[in-house]
Chains A and B, each alone.
Chain A
Amino acid sequence: MVNIVINGRKEKAKEGATILEVAREKKLDIPTLCYHKDLSPFGACRLCTVEVKTNGKWQMVPSCNTPVENGMEIATDSEKVLENRKAVAEMLYYRYPETEAVREMAERLGVDVFSEKGEEHDCILCGLCVRTCKEIVGVSALSFEDRGPERDLEEPRIGFDPNACIGCGSCAFVCPTGFVTMEAVDDKRIIWNKVFQMTECAVCGKYFAPEDQLKYISRTTGVPFAKLTTCSNCR
Chain B
Amino acid sequence: MDKLEFSSWNGKVVDNRKGKAKKASRAAAVPFPAPVRGEKAAAVMGWNGLVVLEPGADVPSLTVQYLKEIRKISCGECSVCMIGIDMLLDIFKDMADGEGFESDLAEVEKIVRDVAANAKCNFGQSALFPVSDAVKHYRADFVAVVKGDRKIDGKAYGTAVTAPCIEACPASLDIPGYIEYIKNNRFSDSLGLIRKNCILPGVIGRTCTHPCESACVRKDLDGSLSIRLLKRAAADFERKEKSAPLPVPSGAKDGKVAVIGSGPAGLAAAYNLRRKGYGVTVFETLPEAGGMAAVGIPDYRLPLDILRHEIGLIGDMGVEIALNSGIGKIDMDDFRKKGYQALFLAVGAHAGNRMGVKGEETKCDGLVDGVEFLRDLNLGKKIAPKKKVLIIGGGNVAIDCARSCVRLGFKDVEILYRRSRAEMPARLEEIEGAEEEGVKIRYLTAPLEVVSKSGKFSCLNCIRMKLGKPDESGRKRPEPVKGSEHVVEADLVISAIGQSAVIPVTASKKSLSVNKNGTVKVDPKTMMTSVEGIFSGGDCVTGPATLIEAIAAGNMAAEGIDLYLRGEAAGGGLSFDGVDLKSQRAGGYVVKEGAEAVPFLEMAKRTTGFGEVEGGFSHAGAMEEAKRCLRCYRVAVWEKGK
A46 to B75, CA, bound (A): 15
**A151→B76 contact, CB < 8 A:** yes
B 103-119 contacts with A by CB, 8 A: 110, 114, 117-119
Q: Mark B36-79, 1 if CB is under 8 A from A, else 0.
A: 00000000000000000000000000000000000111111111
- Interface with A: B80-88, B363-371, B434-442, which one? B80-88
A94 within 8 Å of B (CB atoms): yes
Q: Which residues of A contact B591 (CB under 8 A)?
A: 65-67
A60 to B118, CA, bound (A): 7
A148 to B76, CA, bound (A): 4
B185 within 8 Å of A (CB atoms): yes
**A95→B184 contact, CB < 8 A:** no
B120 within 8 Å of A (CB atoms): yes
Q: Which residues of A contact B78 (CB under 8 A)?
A: 43-46
B588 within 8 Å of A (CB atoms): yes
Q: Which of B76, B110, B118, B119 contacts A149 (CB 8 A)?
A: B76
- Distance in angstroms from A94 CB to nearest chain B CB is 6
A65 to B78, CA, bound (A): 13
- Distance in angstroms from B624 CB to nearest chain A CB is 10
- A142, closest chain B residue (CB): B185
- Is the interface on chain A under 10, 10 to 19, 20 to 34, or 35 or more residues? 35 or more
**A148→B73 contact, CB < 8 A:** yes
**B120→A46 contact, CB < 8 A:** yes
A127 to B184, CA, bound (A): 11
B186 within 8 Å of A (CB atoms): yes
**B120→A125 contact, CB < 8 A:** no
Q: Which residues of A contact B80 (CB under 8 A)?
A: 46, 88, 91
- A57, closest chain B residue (CB): B589
A 135-150 contacts with B by CB, 8 A: 140, 143-150
A127 to B117, CA, bound (A): 22
- A147, closest chain B residue (CB): B75
- Distance in angstroms from B454 CB to nearest chain A CB is 66
A46 to B119, CA, bound (A): 8
A151 to B72, CA, bound (A): 11
A199 to B96, CA, bound (A): 60
**A87→B114 contact, CB < 8 A:** yes
- Distance in angstroms from B446 CB to nearest chain A CB is 50
Q: Which of A42, A66, A151 contacts B82 (CB 8 A)?
A: A151
Q: Mark B418-429, 1 if CB is under 8 A from A, else 0.
A: 000000000000
Q: Which of B71, B82, B117 contacts A49 (CB 8 A)?
A: B117
Q: Which residues of B contact A144 (CB under 8 A)?
A: 76-77, 184
A143 to B183, CA, bound (A): 10
A140 to B623, CA, bound (A): 12
A62 to B124, CA, bound (A): 14
- B241, closest chain A residue (CB): A162
- B124, closest chain A residue (CB): A46
Q: Using known A-B contacts A60-B118, A140-B185, determine if residue A94 contacts B71 with beta carbons closer than 8 Å.
A: no
**B589→A66 contact, CB < 8 A:** yes
- Distance in angstroms from A159 CB to nearest chain B CB is 14
Q: Using known A-B contacts A143-B186, A148-B75, A149-B74, determine if residue A91 contacts B589 with beta carbons closer than 8 Å.
A: no
**B87→A91 contact, CB < 8 A:** yes
Q: Using known A-B contacts A52-B589, A65-B591, A147-B74, determine if residue A60 contacts B86 with beta carbons closer than 8 Å.
A: no
Total contacting residues, chain B, CB less than 8 A: 29
A43 to B119, CA, bound (A): 9
- Distance in angstroms from B77 CB to nearest chain A CB is 6
Q: Which of B73, B75, B83, B185 contacts A92 (CB 8 A)?
A: B83
**A95→B589 contact, CB < 8 A:** no
A197 within 8 Å of B (CB atoms): no
Q: Which residues of B contact A65 (CB under 8 A)?
A: 591
**B79→A125 contact, CB < 8 A:** yes
**A59→B184 contact, CB < 8 A:** no
- Distance in angstroms from B80 CB to nearest chain A CB is 5
A150 to B71, CA, bound (A): 10
- B619, closest chain A residue (CB): A140
Q: Which residues of A contact B76 (CB under 8 A)?
A: 125, 144, 146-151
**A88→B82 contact, CB < 8 A:** no
Q: Mark B368-404, 1 if CB is under 8 A from A, else 0.
A: 0000000000000000000000000000000000000
Q: Which residues of B contact A84 (CB under 8 A)?
A: 114, 117-118
- Distance in angstroms from B118 CB to nearest chain A CB is 4
A17 within 8 Å of B (CB atoms): no
A234 to B117, CA, bound (A): 53
A 72-127 contacts with B by CB, 8 A: 84, 87-88, 91-92, 94-95, 124-125, 127
Which of B71, B110, B118, B185 has the largest number of chain A CB atoms within 10 A? B118
A95 to B84, CA, bound (A): 10
A61 within 8 Å of B (CB atoms): yes
**A92→B71 contact, CB < 8 A:** no
- Distance in angstroms from B594 CB to nearest chain A CB is 14
**B82→A148 contact, CB < 8 A:** yes
Q: Which residues of A contact B114 (CB under 8 A)?
A: 84, 87-88, 91
- B74, closest chain A residue (CB): A148
- Distance in angstroms from A29 CB to nearest chain B CB is 18
Q: Which residues of B contact A95 (CB under 8 A)?
A: 79, 83, 86
A65 to B628, CA, bound (A): 13
Q: Which residues of A contact B180 (CB under 8 A)?
A: 147
Q: Which residues of B contact A52 (CB under 8 A)?
A: 589
**A61→B588 contact, CB < 8 A:** yes
- Distance in angstroms from B383 CB to nearest chain A CB is 43
Q: Using known A-B contacts A44-B78, A149-B76, A151-B76, determine if residue A60 contacts B117 with beta carbons closer than 8 Å.
A: yes
Q: Using known A-B contacts A46-B118, A88-B114, determine if residue A149 contacts B71 with beta carbons closer than 8 Å.
A: yes
Q: Mark A33-57, 1 if CB is under 8 A from B, else 0.
A: 0000000001111100100100000
A60 to B86, CA, bound (A): 23
A95 to B111, CA, bound (A): 14
A140 to B114, CA, bound (A): 33
A146 to B186, CA, bound (A): 11
- Distance in angstroms from A106 CB to nearest chain B CB is 12
A91 to B114, CA, bound (A): 9
Q: Which residues of B contact A143 (CB under 8 A)?
A: 184-186
**B589→A61 contact, CB < 8 A:** yes
**A145→B82 contact, CB < 8 A:** no
Q: Which of A87, A125, A145 contacts B186 (CB 8 A)?
A: A145
Q: Which residues of B contact A59 (CB under 8 A)?
A: 588-589
Q: Which of B72, B87, B118, B185 contacts A88 (CB 8 A)?
A: B118
A60 to B116, CA, bound (A): 10
Q: Which residues of B contact A46 (CB under 8 A)?
A: 78-80, 118-120
Can you give 30 A-B contacts (C-beta < 8 A)? A42-B77, A43-B77, A43-B120, A44-B120, A46-B79, A49-B118, A59-B588, A61-B588, A65-B591, A84-B114, A88-B79, A88-B80, A88-B114, A88-B118, A91-B80, A91-B83, A91-B87, A127-B77, A134-B185, A140-B185, A143-B184, A144-B77, A145-B184, A147-B74, A148-B71, A148-B72, A148-B74, A149-B82, A149-B86, A151-B82
Residues of A near any B CB (own CB < 8 A): 42-46, 49, 52, 59-62, 65-67, 84, 87-88, 91-92, 94-95, 124-125, 127, 134, 140, 143-151
Residues of B near any A CB (own CB < 8 A): 71-80, 82-87, 110, 114, 117-120, 180, 184-186, 588-589, 591
CB-based closest 8 A-B pairs:
A151-B76, A148-B74, A61-B589, A46-B118, A91-B83, A87-B114, A148-B76, A143-B185
